[in-house]
């Protein structure tokens, strides 16, 4: 058993922040949280955390860690450029956990990430949620699939620039809607055949992959910014499916539509050059208005476009821009955990949840010199600093 003693604990639950708090965990799960919670137990490992601050393990809701190699061949293993519509592909098969971009997550206190295909296709394939520490990506994965990656705007138009399709935003939307329509027809025929005891339709791997989306078990996870966000909301409403807006740059221009749509916005990464074509408007200050208006907004890195350290840096910048400390910590824990469908396991500190913690010296997102002393994943020390 692992016992963390005398810490300042940000539970991200109704208990809020607990001073001089103990956290007891065993078999990878949180057993008890509170003052003197571990006094009656003989723990295998004790971390004396007086003066330290404990967060739930940080959750990055949009990453390509281990599959998109900035320092290597362009777009490596997350963009299957042979076809703009590839819902049947699963990005887990392209992830190398030994890549530096993947291994850097625990050093930043990031314990759970959602790895998505890239944005080169209209429909890129299936995303999955995984822990950031372990020996096998298949054992580390905690929800697969957790979303279906799609993309609007300039990125998938790259097929058109190479002589294929789509060439325009019109073509992008037409391809996505066409796949939704075909998949809905396939699902209806399959369900009718089962109900009537008849032969089911010939297996269609692309349509099968879309069934969890049509049943609202997972969202479409859509790379989009600017007015493309409104397009995504309209498509989701038309086909009665869930969605997340990923990037969300210039969200202030479409705030009313985002509020009415009701879906999460996974904002970032910050630091894109202003007026850089459609990728402008990456000001972290925009998360304040979204949060104030009730949008479930998260901060993300797009790793390895930016390193996992950006999670805390972005959170600190949001505080500087007027977001309360409590609210901004939700943007890197609770909110992203909900957006990728793993809040039952991670995102807050309470008994029964996974024993994932980011332990800081200094107050994260307030103290500029705050650093990660320990990262704990499933009750195991994944990083010490």
Q: What is the pLDDT of residues 231-287, one digit of tens each?
A: 999 999 999 999 999 999 999 999 999 999 999 999 999 876 565 557 678 899 999
Q: How confident is the model at residue 298 (pLDDT cuts 50, 70, 90)?
A: very high
- Give me the pLDDT at residue 202, please: 96
Structure-token pair, residue 122: 């209209």
pLDDT of 71 > 90? The answer is: no
Total-model pTM: 0.96
- Give me the pLDDT at residue 70, please: 61
Q: Which CATH class is domain 1-56+347-385?
A: mainly beta
Domain with CATH 2.30.40.10 in the chain: 1-56+347-385
Domain with CATH 3.20.20.140 in the chain: 58-346
Please say whether the dihedral angle defined by the alpha carbons of residues 24, 30, 35 and 40, taken in this order, is positive or negative: negative
Q: What is the pLDDT of residues 116-148, one digit of tens each?
A: 999 999 999 999 999 999 999 999 999 999 999
Please say whether the dihedral angle defined by the alpha carbons of residues 201, 203, 206 and 208, taken in this order, is positive or negative: positive
- CA of residue 2 relative to chain centroid, distance: 27
What percentage of the chain carries pLDDT values higher than 70? 96
**Please, is 6 exposed, middle or buried when counting C-beta atoms within 10 Å of its C-beta (0-12, 13-18, 19+)?**
middle
Residue located via tokens 């037409």 = 174
Annotation: CATH topology of 58-346? TIM Barrel (3.20.20)
Neighbours of 370 (CB within 10 A): 17
- Give me the pLDDT at residue 270, please: 87
């Amino acid at each position: 058993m692992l016992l963390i003693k005398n810490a300042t604990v940000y539970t991200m639950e109704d208990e809020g922040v607990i001073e001089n708090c103990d956290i007891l965990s065993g078999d990878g799960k949180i057993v008890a949280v509170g003052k003197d919670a571990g006094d009656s137990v003989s723990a295998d490992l004790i971390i004396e955390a007086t003066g330290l601050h404990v967060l739930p393990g940080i959750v990055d809701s949009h990453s390509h860690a281990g599959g998109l190699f900035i320092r290597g061949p362009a777009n490596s293993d997350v963009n299957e450029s042979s076809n703009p519509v590839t819902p049947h592909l699963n990005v887990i098969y392209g992830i190398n956990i030994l890549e530096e971009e993947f291994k850097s997550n625990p050093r930043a206190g990031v314990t759970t990430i959602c790895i998505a295909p890239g944005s080169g296709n209209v429909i890129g394939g299936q995303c999955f949620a995984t822990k950031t520490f372990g020996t096998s990506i298949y054992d580390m994965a905690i929800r697969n699939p957790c979303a279906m990656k799609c993309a609007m705007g300039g990125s998938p138009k790259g097929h058109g620039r190479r002589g294929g399709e789509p060439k325009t935003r019109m073509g992008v939307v037409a391809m996505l809607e066409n796949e939704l329509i075909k998949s809905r027809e396939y699902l209806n025929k399959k369900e009718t055949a089962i109900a009537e005891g008849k032969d089911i339709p010939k297996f269609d791997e692309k349509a099968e992959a879309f069934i969890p989306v049509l049943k609202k078990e997972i969202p479409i996870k859509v790379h989009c910014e600017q007015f493309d966000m409104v397009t995504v909301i309209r498509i989701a409403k038309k086909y009665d499916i869930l969605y997340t807006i990923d990037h969300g740059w210039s969200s202030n221009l479409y705030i009313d539509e985002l509020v009415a749509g009701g879906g999460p916005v996974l904002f970032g990464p910050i630091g894109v050059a202003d007026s850089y074509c459609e990728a402008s408007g990456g000001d972290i200050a925009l998360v304040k208005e979204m949060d104030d208006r009730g949008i479930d907004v998260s901060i993300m890195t797009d790793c390895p476009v930016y390193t996992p350290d950006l999670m805390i840096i972005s959170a600190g910048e949001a505080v500087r821009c007027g977001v309360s400390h409590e609210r901004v910590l939700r943007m890197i824990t609770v909110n992203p955990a909900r957006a990728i469908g793993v809040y039952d396991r991670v995102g807050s500190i309470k008994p029964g949840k996974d024993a994932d913690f980011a332990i800081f010296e200094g107050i994260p997102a307030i103290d500029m010199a705050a650093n990660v002393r320990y990262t704990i994943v499933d009750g195991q020390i994944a990083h010490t600093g």
